[in-house]
Structures are given as structure tokens and as C-alpha cells.
Structure 1
Amino acid sequence: MTNPKYPNPTGGGSFIVAYRAVDKHVLVVGGGQVAAGRVFNALEADMIVTVVSPKLTGELQYRAEEGQITWIGEEFKPEHLENKDMVLSTIDDPEESKRIVSLCNDLKIPVNAADINNLCDFWFMSIHRDGPLQIAVATNSKAPRLANRIRMQIANSLPKGTGKAIENIGILREKIRIGDPGIENTRKRMTWMKQLCDYWPIEQLAKMDSSDINDLFASYTKQQDPSTIKTFGTLTTPTTNTEITTEKIEISKCRSIKFEQKTKGKIYLVGAGLGDPDFLTMKAHRLLQEADVVLADKLIPSPVLDLVKKGEIFIARKFPGIADIAQQELYIRGIEALEQGKLVVRLKQGDPFVFGRGGEEVVFFEERGYEPEIVPGISSALAGPGVNKIPVTHRGVSDQVLILSGNNRFNKLPEIPTFLSTRTLVFLMAINKLEQVCKLLLETNYPPNLPVSIIEKAGCENQRKIVGTLESIVEISNRLGNNPPGLLVVGNSVTALDNPSSNESSIDSSFKQIAINQPIDECG
């Protein structure tokens, strides 16, 4: 029977709370990129983090060395669960994750296991954070990508400075609680603060400084109605809704009113090249020095960022599992700066349009009224092999190049064309999937003895080149270890310059004859 006074629960929802996790002990199982993202979120919530994994990513290694986390360098054991308040499994082994979940269930420890949604006690949500403000969107693990889009729309609709406004209100609220203590004054405090929060625009509350907060506290002690408070400090008296709705201005009169023209910002989509500042274009170098805000990819080396003279540097936290969230954060910060009339540089590794989502970013900003100017960069796909003496095209060896991504959408491997001895394949973002990529090539009838090279940190002082064959490169990489970012070059061009004289037999005989008969006075 339905009672109109009381709503009926529909079920199927999650019990969403803001969990106060300060000093709670969380165990993260795994040391990869997903673990790095989970660890970052836990540290932001002031949790005590322990990571158990034989190996760590560079970021987690850094956090261990800095004392931000405790690292247990071994495989997971049940005793690691002792005195833990939460467990996050990020490993790629579903059976081991299920075992961890079962152990946690027996001990009544809340657990989340990556990619095993039906066994999780809780899921991660798409989060927008602005200081103390956190907005989380949950889809009960049904549509996480759509959750990111919804969160972005919500974040874009917020008034500017919402997080700062909340921070200021928190300071004022505490000041009032201390200055007028006692449970008997609770209703008075709450009523006055409610009126202030309901009346003053968020943008104005965000502009408050310490002097303004003191003035508001004085207004509270006098129990002055917040709606009657006149201009003070950086604030201006707000306009009531009644005034907004009742005031009418004729269109003909509007033509005689001079409005202040809002300065419109400018955005540049800039390629950072290989990573060495010497490989930057002159225009990219100049823009980095002129920029007010630089939105940078996580992999941009510090020597390039050191060129930023005056601008704020906002670095994306693009890790697997939160890459889309980080992209949305870049969008939000970029729009904020552009609306403030600032010069924004979106700095992307390599070239913005070579597997850099540059096209998506152009569309995003164009839809919001900003026309990005493109500043191309040197792509590691072509220059990375070049600076390591691998010519991706070479007469008689390779006459075409195919650039592929090892990290396609939905985590899929690329489609591999049939083998052609004169084609060079260059894979970006494939080192973490080296074994799968090599297996796919062998299954597509690529020769096992085909030369292969891994190039790490191309163009930087610590670049490294590893050479092997399609059947040996995985073993070599496992033995030597890898140090991303890196690219994979597959084809006969890999060894084309190892012994140049050995390539003579592959040069067209007709070309050799032309070279022999060429008059000396025509040779430059």
C-alpha cells in the first residue's frame, strides 16, 4: 500500500557516503599503473598506505623512497591483511584477486578488486575535486565512461571559485562556533549561516579575504541580516532575485549602454617533441615563456617545463583507470584560464596529432568558442628511431612506414597488416604490451628473425636502444628491464646501418648502374 507522505525505496542504488579515511590503513595489492592511481587517491584522503608487490612503477618507487607509502617487495600473503581497514587489489590475475576478496570477506575487510565488479564491496566513482569540494558520480559500475562525461558537465556548470567559497565559509563557520560557543547557540549559528549561504552569490563568497571574514563575524555578533550587509572588503552587495526578475530594460535603451568587453583568452596546442628542449620548435619555446597557464602531459620532462617563466604548470595525472578523469581536469582548468583572458599552452608530448588526442581537444575547445592554434612537434614515431641510427625508410630496405598504437581504445591491440619486407612498423605505447604485440606479429606470419628494437626515452640524455628479433626481444626486455616511455620498431630498417656495405646487394641494380655512369661534373 502506497502512502503519499512517504516515498517508497526503489532499490538498486549504492549507499554513497563521504568516508572519513584519515589514518585508516589501506593495503594495495599490485605495483602497476592502476595501483599508482589508487595510491594517489588514498594519499589524498590522508590514509596510511601499504603496497605489496615484487615490483613497482616509477611513481610508486618514488613514493616509497619519499616515505609516503610502505612497500613490501613480495607476492601477496594472507598475513598482509592484518590490521588493515581496506584492501584494493589491482593485479591482472583474476583467480588471485578472487582469493584476496574471499580472505577479506572472511575478515570483514571492505575490498575492491579491479575488473571483478560483482565481488567488490564498493566501486570507485568519477570525482571532481576543487579544494574541499568533491563531487562524485556513480553508475553502479554500469557505465564508468558515461560517469566521466556527466561529472564533467556538472563541473562545468559550477560557479567559478566554488571550492574557495566553501573553504571561506568553513573558516567563517569555525570562527563563529569558537566566538559564540554553547549548544544553546547552535540554532542561532545555523540560522545565520544558512541565510548567508542562501543569499550571497558563490562567486562573491569565493573572493572573501581574512578582513571580509572578520567583518562578517562582526555582523553575526550583531545578528545583522546577511541580506542587508553593505559593501565591505572585496565583496559587493548582491542583487536579489526579486530585483533581477522585476527590473526591465528596453532593447532600444540597451544600445546606448556600454558594457565592459570581456577579454577572451587564447589557446595553443603545442607539441613538446622528443623531450630534449633543443628539439622544440622556436615557436613552442617562445610560447612556453609567454604562457599564463601550461597544461602539460605527465610525461613531459622537467627540462622542458623549466622553460616556463611565469605561467602556472598544471600536470595531468594520466594513469590507467583515471586517464579520462585527468583529461577532464585539464579541460576544466583550460576553460577556466581562457575565460579569464589568459594565454594557455596545452603542451603534449611529441606531436599533438600523432596518437595524442589532439583532435579531440581541438573539437572540445572549438565547441566552447575557442579556436586552438596548432604548433606541431617532432614525433618520436619518426625522430625516435632517427636519433638512434634507425632510418625508418632506407633505399632498398624500407620504402614505407606504418605508425601504430599499442594502447588503442578499450585497451585493444592494433590490427596488424600482412607482412611486407620493405615496411617498417613503429608502435607507440606498446612496451607494456610487448609480449602480446610480438605474439600477434608472429601469429600474422611475421618472420621470427625479423629485427626489432625498443627505444626508451628517445632524444633524452638517458635514452636507451635495445635490439633483438621478434622471437628474442621479449626475453631480452625481461632480462634488462624496461624504462617507459618507449617505442617499438619492427622491420629490416632496424639493422640497416649496422653494416651499410651489406645493404649494397639490395639496392636496385639499375640505380647502381646510373650511379656508376654518372658524369663526375654533375655530382654535387
Structure 2
Amino acid sequence: MAETFRQPQGGGSLIVAWQAKARSILIVGGGPVAASRVFNALEADAHVTVVAPELCAELAHRAAAKQIAWRERRFEDADVEAADMVLTAIGDAHESRRIAALCRLRRIPVNAADINELCDFWFMSTHRDHSVQIAVSTNSKAPRLANRIRRQIASALPRGTGLAVEQIGRLRKRIREADPAPASSKRRMTWLTQLCDYWPVEQLAALDSDNIDSLLDAYVQNHDPQRVCIANGATSHPLPPPPPPPLSASSASSSGIPSPVLQAHASGALPAPATRGRLVLVGAGVGDPELLTVRAHRALESADIVLADKLIPEPVLAIIGCEIYTARKFPGAANEAQDDLFRRALEELGRGRCVVRLKQGDPFVYGRGAEEVLFFRAHGYEAEVVPGLTSAINGPGLCGIPVTHRGVADQVLVLSGANRNGDLPAVPPFVATRTLVILMAVKRLGQIVALLGRTGHPPDLPVAIVERAGCADQRTVRATLATIVAVVECAGHNAPGLIVAGHAVNVLSDAAIQDRYLDPSSLGLHSAECSG
């Protein structure tokens, strides 16, 4: 009989949700890591005290707003006396060990940032959507990988999951008030279980007060929860959309033909093809296949082969039914990758095939699309151009940032983070009503911030990093010009991304938090990704 029970694996952590409301949490340190710990504690309604000689911008803001108590000095042993939990976020490992020892003498749980053996518990990578909290732990072995896993889990959640939980919570409370008898416990649980298991999360999220009243009546009258009238008047379970078709062929491997083949084409050394193919230059847009144009869809359906940039998102590739050849683009080898695609395109066109050259975003917005048109024109092929949504305008929009807004921003300036020689862009003097969008520049964020400072952009100017716009795991990190570097250092970066600077950044920040694609933990000067 004992063999039927699960065997513990060991090596894990005891995962719990600690009720910290009104508990006293002491945080030693005043930098970005301490700020992330403070935010987590405030989210749990704890009373927070910070001990540090100086505070970073975020903690200074919270102290001024009376969200935390600040002891403007170094740690003293007596500080732990009233604490229910102690967190250290300082660079002095010896002092962290001493504080941890004090806490253990008093049986106070303690966490020391970046010193695993001192920690009674870890901070996990968390996703928060109203009352829904998802936490991923790698037991401090791979915090960055935990962040990636957490984003993948969060992106798979149905839209409106947090709102659905809130609405079901309201309904559950109403039902308990209407039928409080202990003997009704099983009936309440069974009815709500059937409701939650049957109806799509999106429709549960759309419940309003009238819907909840109707559902309460349905419970009282013992109506089947699968047949009641729910949000939007639906009375039957909608079918889910069909999955996208799988790829019919994986990306082909290179045949190793060097770039002199291109030179041979250019010099006329190769014979003209007996049949001529068709070339279509297609913009893949911002990552979501539903945001491809109808014309782009038709081009992909008619293609014999698609030559794709390396950064084309998998959901877009997944709708392609023909052979896909992906550019072998690596850092420092962009020209070689371009030559490789040119070579393959000329080969396929020479066979009379329909070739779709699939480029991310819009080919003519920092996509080298015009260069490709000129190259193929020189070899006798006129490309049909199908524009795509550019991340410069639509990426911010998908993440709740309008690049223009009446009375706030009346102009947009789009720049590349580096010219052909790798130099920084030429940024004009600051204009308060301008939104600045800088592509391909997040890796040079510190240099960009310094450049904007030299051109008169104020330290409190709102700044956002928009990552993987249009993909399921898109994310927005918001801060100011003075704090964005520290915030990104704490939160990490997931390419591709762009920088948006200007007062339009925060116009819709409150509304944007309702979108599941916008991680609420990254709105403001903090990030849940500083832990692991």
C-alpha cells in the first residue's frame, strides 16, 4: 500500500502565501533592490520601516508620501526588536551576516539579498493581476529563468483573469450572505465550481452588478449554472478558436555558398534564368499574426518559400504553410546574414518560385527595406511591397502609450539608437510636447539617457521601455529619465524593445494596468523581477 503514495523529491522550498497585513517588516538598505522589497511588502499591506543613510528616488518618494517609515542612519541592533520580518539589501556581506545572526537569535525570519545561505526564504518572480498572484521559484538557482517562466505562464492566462476572480469573489460573498447555513456549504461550493469550470474566463471578467444579481437569483432558485444568463446575455458555452496550423517545414539550413555568388550575379557571370519568379517584400508588423494586413496574409498563403528575419515571432511563423528560411543573423554579422538571404532569394527566384521576404515591423522604417528593393531591382526583379505596422508607432500604442495626445504631445520623433557607424543618434533640444521614440537602443540605455540630459530633457520626464510589443509576453517598464537605468538594471530586459520618452507615456497608465499584457508590477518605479 505504501508504494502508492508519492515520494518526496527533496531540494524544494515550502511555498506559502504569507499574510503580512499590519505586520512590521524591516528593510535594511536604500537602493533599487530595497525598493523592490518595499513595493512587495506594501502590496501585502505590511507596515514597512526602512533603515538607510540615503534613499534612492523611489524610496524617497515613498517616504515623502508616508508610505514607509524611514530611519535616516545605519542599522542598529535594536532595530530588529519590533520586526516580524527582516530583509537586508546592502552591499556589506559581513553586516548582512551579523544582522541575520541577530534575527535567528530572536526567531525572526530573515532574507539577505544575494546571500542564499543566509535566507530563511526566497523572493520569487511574481505576476500580479488584482487578487491573482502567480509566483515562480527556482530556489535561487536561476532567477532570470524564473522571470521568463513567469512571463510565459502569465501570457497564457485568459484575458481578464484578475477581473474574473474579483467578480466571482463578489458573487461568492453574496451567496454566502444569502445562504449562510453550514449545511449549505456543499451546495454553495458545487454550484460555484460548476459556474467557474464551465464559463470562459473572459465572460466571467465581464460580469457587472446586474449580472451578479441575476446569478444570485439563479443560485437561490437552484438553476443549472451552465444554463444561466451570464455577462453579455450569453446562454451557451462558446467554442474556442481553432489552433494555428503547424509549420510544414522547419527553417532550412544554409548551403554554405559564400557571398561571391552575389558578386557573380551582379557582374552578369551567371546565366539568366529560363523562368522568372515573383518577389514580395512583406512587413510582419509588431508580432501578433492578427495584426498582419489582409494583403500580407494573402502573400504568405501564395508563397513558395518565405525568407524571414531572425526576430520574426513564432506566432507569425506558425501561420506559414510553406518552407521557411531564417536569416542566420548574429551580433556583428548583419551584413553576412543579409548576403545569405540575398543569395537564397536569387536562387529561388531563378527557379521561378514566389518568394516572400518577411521583415519585422514595416520594411521602410529602419528595416533596410529600400536597400533590398534596390538590390533586387539591380538584378532584374521588382519587389511588390506590403507595408506592416511599425513598432515605432504601434508598439507603444499596444502597451497603452499614445504617441500623440491633445494638450500633451503634438509631435513624434522616431530615431534609431545607432547609425551605420554605431554612433548615437542626433537628438534635437527638448520640446515639452514631443514624444521621442528610439528604436534598437535599450542596450545603450545609459548613453541615451546621458544624451537626452545634455539636450535639455528634464530628469522627471516620463520614460518607458516597451518590450516585444504585440507578442503574448509583451511588457512595459515605466520610470523617469533619472530612474530608468536603475529600474531596467533591476528588472532586466527582453529584446526586442524600444525607448519612449515624453509626457504622453503616462497619459493612459491607470487604464493600461487593466490589460493583461501590461504587467502591473512594472508600472511605476519598481519591478517584481528584481527577485528570484
What is the TM-score when the length of structure 1 is the normalising length?
0.52
**Which residue matches 2:456?**
460
Which residues of 2 match residues 103-502 of structure 1 at below 5 A?
Answer: 103-229=102-228, 231-239=229-237, 264=291, 292-294=397-399, 308-309=405-406, 353=417, 381=424, 429=446, 457-460=453-456
Taking structure 1 as reference, are residues 153 and 94 closer, same or farther at Cα in structure 2, changes over 3 Å only? same
* 1:74-121 per-position Cα deviation (integer Å, ceiling 9, x unaligned): 001111112111111000111111111111111111111111011101
Taking structure 1 as reference, are residues 78 and 238 closer, same or farther at Cα in structure 2, changes over 3 Å only? farther
Taking structure 1 as reference, are residues 83 and 222 closer, same or farther at Cα in structure 2, changes over 3 Å only? same
How far apart are 1:194 and its partner, in Å? 1.2
How far apart are 1:291 and its partner, in Å? 6.9
Taking structure 1 as reference, are residues 232 and 186 closer, same or farther at Cα in structure 2, changes over 3 Å only? closer
How far apart are 1:196 and its partner, in Å? 1.1
Cα distance between partner residues in 1 of 2:406 and 2:393: 10
Cα distance between partner residues in 2 of 1:306 and 1:264: 19
Cα distance between partner residues in 2 of 1:20 and 1:78: 26
Taking structure 1 as reference, are residues 209 and 93 closer, same or farther at Cα in structure 2, changes over 3 Å only? same
Larger radius of gyration: 1
CA contact (8 A) 2:203 2:230 kept: no
**Which residue matches 2:74?**
75
Q: Name the amino acid aligned to 1:460.
A: G
* 1:279-317 per-position Cα deviation (integer Å, ceiling 9, x unaligned): xxxxx9x959x9755557xxxxxxxx8954599x9xxxx
Cα distance between partner residues in 2 of 1:203 and 1:381: 45
* 1:55-81 per-position Cα deviation (integer Å, ceiling 9, x unaligned): 011111111011011110000111111
Give SS of 1:136's match. Answer: strand
Cα distance between partner residues in 2 of 1:306 and 1:23: 41
Cα distance between partner residues in 2 of 1:350 and 1:30: 39
Taking structure 1 as reference, are residues 216 and 24 closer, same or farther at Cα in structure 2, changes over 3 Å only? same
Taking structure 1 as reference, are residues 139 and 117 closer, same or farther at Cα in structure 2, changes over 3 Å only? same
CA contact (8 A) 2:204 2:231 kept: no
Cα distance between partner residues in 1 of 2:176 and 2:235: 25
How far apart are 1:461 and its partner, in Å? 6.1
Taking structure 1 as reference, are residues 197 and 308 closer, same or farther at Cα in structure 2, changes over 3 Å only? same
**Which residue matches 2:40?**
41
Cα distance between partner residues in 2 of 1:219 and 1:455: 63
Cα distance between partner residues in 2 of 1:380 and 1:60: 35
Taking structure 1 as reference, are residues 309 and 184 closer, same or farther at Cα in structure 2, changes over 3 Å only? farther
Give SS of 1:61's match. Answer: helix
How far apart are 1:15 and its partner, in Å? 0.6
How far apart are 1:486 and its partner, in Å? 8.8
Cα distance between partner residues in 2 of 1:86 and 1:352: 47
CA contact (8 A) 2:86 2:108 kept: yes
Taking structure 1 as reference, are residues 11 and 171 closer, same or farther at Cα in structure 2, changes over 3 Å only? same
How far apart are 1:431 and its partner, in Å? 13
**Which residue matches 1:94?**
93
CA contact (8 A) 2:396 2:403 kept: no
Taking structure 1 as reference, are residues 48 and 486 closer, same or farther at Cα in structure 2, changes over 3 Å only? closer
How far apart are 1:40 and its partner, in Å? 1.1
**Which residue matches 1:510?**
none
Q: Name the amino acid aligned to 2:40.
A: N
Taking structure 1 as reference, are residues 175 and 310 closer, same or farther at Cα in structure 2, changes over 3 Å only? farther
Q: Name the amino acid aligned to 1:103.
A: L
Taking structure 1 as reference, are residues 458 and 383 closer, same or farther at Cα in structure 2, changes over 3 Å only? farther
Taking structure 1 as reference, are residues 226 and 462 closer, same or farther at Cα in structure 2, changes over 3 Å only? closer
Taking structure 1 as reference, are residues 264 and 484 closer, same or farther at Cα in structure 2, changes over 3 Å only? closer
How far apart are 1:182 and its partner, in Å? 2.2
Taking structure 1 as reference, are residues 383 and 79 closer, same or farther at Cα in structure 2, changes over 3 Å only? farther
How far apart are 1:52 and its partner, in Å? 0.6
Higher relative contact order (CA closer than 8 Å, sequence separation 6+): 2
* 1:243-300 per-position Cα deviation (integer Å, ceiling 9, x unaligned): 999xxxxxxxxxxxxxxxx9638998999xxxxxxxxxxxx9x959x9755557xxxx
CA contact (8 A) 1:123 1:140 kept: yes
Cα distance between partner residues in 1 of 2:452 and 2:80: 37
Taking structure 1 as reference, are residues 462 and 169 closer, same or farther at Cα in structure 2, changes over 3 Å only? closer
Cα distance between partner residues in 1 of 2:429 and 2:196: 60
Cα distance between partner residues in 1 of 2:399 and 2:405: 8
Give SS of 2:186's match. Answer: helix
How far apart are 1:238 and its partner, in Å? 3.2
How far apart are 1:188 and its partner, in Å? 1.5
Cα distance between partner residues in 1 of 2:49 and 2:178: 41
CA contact (8 A) 1:207 1:235 kept: no
Q: Name the amino acid aligned to 1:137.
A: V
Taking structure 1 as reference, are residues 233 and 239 closer, same or farther at Cα in structure 2, changes over 3 Å only? closer
**Which residue matches 2:329?**
none
CA contact (8 A) 1:431 1:486 kept: no
Tell me, yes or no, if structure 1 residue 22 matches structure 2 residue 21: yes
Q: Name the amino acid aligned to 2:456.
A: C
Taking structure 1 as reference, are residues 36 and 306 closer, same or farther at Cα in structure 2, changes over 3 Å only? farther
Give SS of 1:50's match. Answer: strand
**Which residue matches 1:66?**
65
Give SS of 2:3's match. Answer: coil
Cα distance between partner residues in 2 of 1:120 and 1:350: 46
Cα distance between partner residues in 1 of 2:403 and 2:291: 27
Cα distance between partner residues in 1 of 2:154 and 2:407: 27
How far apart are 1:459 and its partner, in Å? 2.5
Give SS of 2:146's match. Answer: helix
Give SS of 1:223's match. Answer: coil
Taking structure 1 as reference, are residues 95 and 460 closer, same or farther at Cα in structure 2, changes over 3 Å only? same
Q: Say how many residue pairs are matched.
A: 315
Q: Name the amino acid aligned to 1:458.
A: R
Taking structure 1 as reference, are residues 120 and 184 closer, same or farther at Cα in structure 2, changes over 3 Å only? same
Cα distance between partner residues in 2 of 1:486 and 1:198: 44
